Chains A and B, each alone.
Chain A
């Protein structure tokens, strides 16, 4: 018989150093929207997105820089989503765009790992929410980053450069994204907002390793390994 925790542990959980919430923005690089083209007007979407399209990376996905990431057997390749993440310094509700960066503690490099999916109609639970599919890099304090909307991103797989991008191409800037999301969703100290995945994200297989570098923010490296099961 499996023992369950007692009530006090559920009422006052210990979270360690991991965030309470990690929320990501889909379609936040203009090239991704351009690539979809007229498809946004056809089923299943029937209209372009109005509000920010968001997804949650749940707690089981959290991992750290340097961790070996186990790829489940039903996934042959993993897409390496190179995200600039905003970390909140304090509770942010209905924040105005011009005040948005006052709520930012700093920035992190986050790898949003997922199995490729071309249809964005339903939440991508099986694609994006496998254990350890959200490695989180170290915090760079906000004062060390001049402008989150002008940072170069580079992704290497097995030391070969596979993608370059820039946050100049964000559809919603860091400020705009914070304003639009906190209009309905309070983000708290330690919560992370992933500002999007640049179009053309590279893929990697078990046995390979990747490294994401974001100017002024830092880097994140992980090795992908095959499931032992």
Chain B
């Protein structure tokens, strides 16, 4: 099933997907996609993010693929929902999207084996992990000013139950800027796949329900400007729409 968290009639409500892209609110009413304010479908607890987790993206950034997962964290401030607006500061020259499969942990996980990893997954959503490269510094890189900015991580639209995504390691990812395809890849090209990432992080930290793993992005990043509509889409998971606005 596909779930969402939205504001309708000034109230936060849970909803599920109905026909034709509409939503069924928890009180049974059916409303249109544009009639609600979309919130991130979950409130993440700890958000793990992977840098350089697709071989082609590593090449694009002139890095060699890492030997162990290169993880960092985002804080709660950075998330916004579907159809939200992301701020591009006036002084920047290169701000790019990153389409990423987001894995939601659903059970306490410690020292999980790769072969058991999916047992600990509640479901999936789509993240757009914007980065502003002008602000990159070589101190705890990628630094929070690049990666944990307000409005810079759209998440959603849907939380999709785990069992509705039979093979998360074979999903097409695509990004469209103003309708033009700019990024295309497949989750099978991750350097460290979903089971490996869960095994890795749980080998030295205890994961809990609500923890979120953003699994990295393939190549095809381009600069985005105020007014651009950026759609990050993952097969079977969702199509996340975002608009860039001037800061």
A residues sitting closer than 8 Å to B (CB atoms) are 1-5, 7-13, 20-21, 23, 26-27, 44-47, 49-56, 58-60, 72, 93, 120-126, 129-131, 184-188
Contact = CB atoms under 8 A, between A and B. Distances in A.
A13 B210 CA distance: 8
Nearest to B89: A184
Contacts of A26: 139-140
Interface of B: 3, 5, 14, 41-43, 45-46, 70-78, 104, 106-107, 116, 119-123, 135, 137-145, 148-150, 159, 161-162, 204-211
A28 B239 CA distance: 42
Interface on chain A toward B: helix, strand, loop, or mixed SS? Answer: loop
Contacts of B3: 7, 11
A123 B43 contact: no
Contacts, number: 148
A51 B137 contact: yes
A186 B209 contact: no
A126 B45 CA distance: 18
B139 A11 contact: no
B11 to A, nearest CB: 13
Given A10-B106, A54-B144, A5 B71 contact: no
6 contacts: A51-B137, A54-B143, A56-B74, A60-B206, A122-B72, A187-B77
Ranked nearest first, the 5 interchain pairs of A and B with the lowest CB-CB distance are: A4-B106, A58-B46, A56-B73, A123-B72, A10-B42
A72 B204 contact: yes
Nearest to A19: B76
Contact of B208 (A3, A11, A59, A184): A59
Contacts of B72: 122-123, 125
B205 A58 contact: yes
Contact of B43 (A11, A52, A72, A124): A11
A13 B119 contact: no
Given A5-B107, A49-B137, 4 more contacts: A5-B122, A7-B122, A10-B41, A55-B144
A47 B138 contact: yes
- Most A C-beta atoms less than 10 A away, residue of B78, B141, B142, B149: B141
A4 B45 contact: no
A27 B41 CA distance: 36
B77 A2 contact: no
Contact of A8 (B14, B70, B123, B138): B14
Given A7-B3, A11-B43, A58-B73, A1 B119 contact: yes
